[in-house]
Structure 1
Amino acid sequence: MTAPNLTALIQGFFTDRLVRQRQSSPQTIAAYRDAIRLLLLFSAQKAKKPPVRLTIADLDAVTVAAFLDHLDSDRHNSTATRNARLAAIHSFYRYALPLIPDKAHTASQVLAIPQRRHEQATVSYLTETETDALLQAPDRKSWFGRRDHALLVTAIQTGLRLSELTALTIQDITTTILGAAVHTIGKGRRERATPLTRQTLASLRPWLREAGPEPTAPAFPTQRGTPMSADAVQRLVAKHAATAAYSCPSIVTKNVTPHTLRHTAAMALMKAGVDTSVIALWLGHQSPVTTQIYLHADMTIKERALERVNTPNTTPGRRATM
């Protein structure tokens, strides 16, 4: 039996492994697609041949290591992004390995490339004052301002991921008093419903009537009625954060992104005394362990713990006199 070529391996990886076997989410497939595409473009330039003529030998451990260096030095990717790209490449080679026994050594060397260790940064989130300033930033006299305000309110209260926000449709949002919630499919294709507060409903109800009558239409569309891109949401968050800084200068010290809003939602729950296991369910975390980062970020929890500690006697002693 003839071993499949690189093109067949890549096609099988996406259609057979990711779509059929794993039933991966569109977000996962898109992330893996981007990683493999970047690797192919880099390898083609290095081998001085078009991507369609690349073979598995062109994607050896030396090339993959050089690609990872390229992500660092040329694309200025973070360690987390580098590790995510490498995880996609590892997944592809684990799929390919049984199908290319004659190239097992090449695949094994790539699979042996380790993830890079990195320090876990302290979670960045908005205080209550900063949150209020951000929500006041959009000009609600305009269509864009009303959309942006509704999106920001939803993101800050629900803690949805950016991909979940952009995928929301009108029918995903229940606005009845009883059972008001946002319904999403997150990582691992897990469905969850996130309850909505009365304040969030007050912003969402008039906006959803304005967004359009079609239940399958995007909840937060572009003016053409199409779903917003991730880049578009990132730009609008940054724009309104810059506006909010005029009335709340402390925002300037923070890099406000859609993920900052997710952290803000988690920290609000934490400060309200909600258990970390419940917060993990709220955010769609695979494990409650992931939610421990918010314990490290909440200084009030540490201060309360300090108050319970019996401080030893630290009265300075007298200097003995001769």
Structure 2
Amino acid sequence: MNWSPYIKSFQSYLKIERGLSKNTIANYTFDLERLCAFLNDNNISVAPEKIAEETIQQFIYAVSKEVNARSQARIISGLKSFFSYLIFEDYRSDSPMELIEAPKIGRKLPDTLSVEDIDNLIAAVDLSTPEGERNRAILETLYSCGLRVSELVSLKISDLFFDEGFVKITGKGNKQRFVPIAQSTQRYIESYKNNIRNHLNIAKGHEDTLFLNRRGKQLTRAMVFTIIKTLAVKINLQKNISPHTLRHSFATHLLENGADLRSIQMMLGHESITTTEVYVHLDRKHLTQIIHTFHPRKV
């Protein structure tokens, strides 16, 4: 049974109706293709309109042997969205996912770096190379603005509003927000733009892209991961870090220094405050300080 037309229609729905990012749509598509592969491997020929809960349960049981609970929960969430879409489009009247529960995974606390770790990481950048100027600007921007790596690599020159002290960020689901940017980070970006970027042979279609590779094209997310991991090895940092670690550190350090969760939520671009609340669990020392400062029976 060919599921491709249904999957393509679902992709269009996710992009146009729900405004989800390419990465999220790709993950949903991968999970559906995984289900299709399971059906083929087991000689099960069934249309999306007819597939039963028992078959889905068999698939999830098979998947549970291969992936962790977090990935399993994501797969179940994606399938629930797909079958909800089929109901919305009147392909089905019910969902085979109604009684299927995702595993309890708990909340994973993000890794963070100290201010000293971040200073050491940035200090390790080799500024004798053209890429060094760029890499310093990248790290400063990630940490100064708390960006996702996808937001960083898609950042445009036209998104820089330095006179006002902000950058415009396009986040998940193409939702835009303005994030304050430190003057020191502005100087690093301007230095990269004027001294390095201006001398590149910029590829067509990338004239407005801020951070470019040697070929004058937009950096990949993987390249930013490599830059950061290489620097971590260079300073012998005994932590498994990624670009997201700088984003987590940005939020944690703001909280430690007295910023409120609502402001942090807006700067991070979290749709729900509950996503931001994970940082409260990180910084129990800050909570103790709040009690001692503001509670009427603090003495």
**Corresponding residue to 1:262 among 226, 247, 252:** 247
Match of 1:235 among 221, 226, 241: 226
Contact 2:213/2:219 (<8 A) preserved: yes
Equivalence for 1:153: 140
Tell me if the contact between 2:122 and 2:139 (Cα under 8 Å) persists in the aligned partners: yes
Q: Distance in 1 between matches of 2:58 and 2:210?
A: 42
Corresponding position of 2:84: 94
Q: Taking structure 1 as reference, are residues 311 and 13 closer, same or farther at Cα in structure 2, changes over 3 Å only?
A: closer
Q: In the TM superposition, what are the counterparts of 1:212-251 in structure 2 within 5 Å?
A: 212=198, 216-245=207-236, 251=237
Separation in 2, partners of 1:144, 1:203: 13
Q: 5 Å matches for 1:118-137?
A: 118-137=105-124
- Which of 99, 110, 117 is the equivalent residue of 2:97? 110
Q: 2:25 pairs with 16, 25, 29, which one? A: 29
Report what 2:7 is aligned to.
Answer: 10
Distance 1:37 1:274 in 2: 43
Q: Which runs of 5+ in 2 are unaligned?
A: none
Structure with the larger helix share: 1
Structure 2 CA distance for aligned equivalents of residues 239 and 63 of structure 1: 45
For residue 87 of structure 1, what is the amino acid of its counterpart?
A: S
Contact 1:166-1:229 within 8 A present in 2 as well: yes
* CA shift in 2, pair 1:24/1:41, >3 Å: same
2-structure distance, mates of 1:23, 1:180 = 28
Over 3 Å counting, the alpha-carbon distance change for 1:164 and 1:44 in structure 2 is: farther
Q: 1:12 Cα shift?
A: 1.6
Give the TM-score normalised by structure 2: 0.83
Question: Given the alignment, which residue of 275, 280, 284 partners 1:290?
Answer: 275
- Pick the aligned partner of 1:281 from 266, 269, 291: 266
Query: Contact 1:6–1:54 (CA<8 Å) still a contact in 2?
Result: no
Q: Report what 1:316 is aligned to.
A: none
1:66 Cα deviation after fit: 4.8
C-alpha distance after superposition, 1:33-56 (max 9, x if no partner): 3333333334433438xxxx8743
Partner of 1:140: 127
SS at match of 2:95: helix
CA distance in 2, matches of 1:124, 1:304: 22
Stretches of structure 1 that go unaligned for 5 or more consecutive residues are 246-250, 313-322
CA contact (8 A) 2:151 2:171 kept: yes
Residue in structure 2 matched with residue 164 of structure 1 by the alignment: 151
Q: 1:237 to 1:111 in 2, by over 3 A?
A: farther
Give the deviation of 1:118 after TM superposition: 1.2
Deviates more, 1:65-74 or 1:220-229: 65-74
What TM-score comes out, normalization by structure 1 length?
Answer: 0.78
> Could you tell me how far 1:285 is from its partner in structure 2?
0.9
What SS does the corresponding residue of 2:97 show, helix, strand or coil? Answer: helix
**1:192 aligns to what SS in structure 2?**
strand
Partners of 1:218 and 1:225 within 8 A in 2: no
Q: Partners of 1:141 and 1:109 in 2: how far apart?
A: 59
**Distance of aligned partners of 1:57 and 1:22 in 2 relative to their CA distance in 1, 3 Å threshold:** closer
Larger Rg: 1
Out of 28, 43, 52, which is 1:47 matched to? 43
Letter of the 1:164 counterpart: E
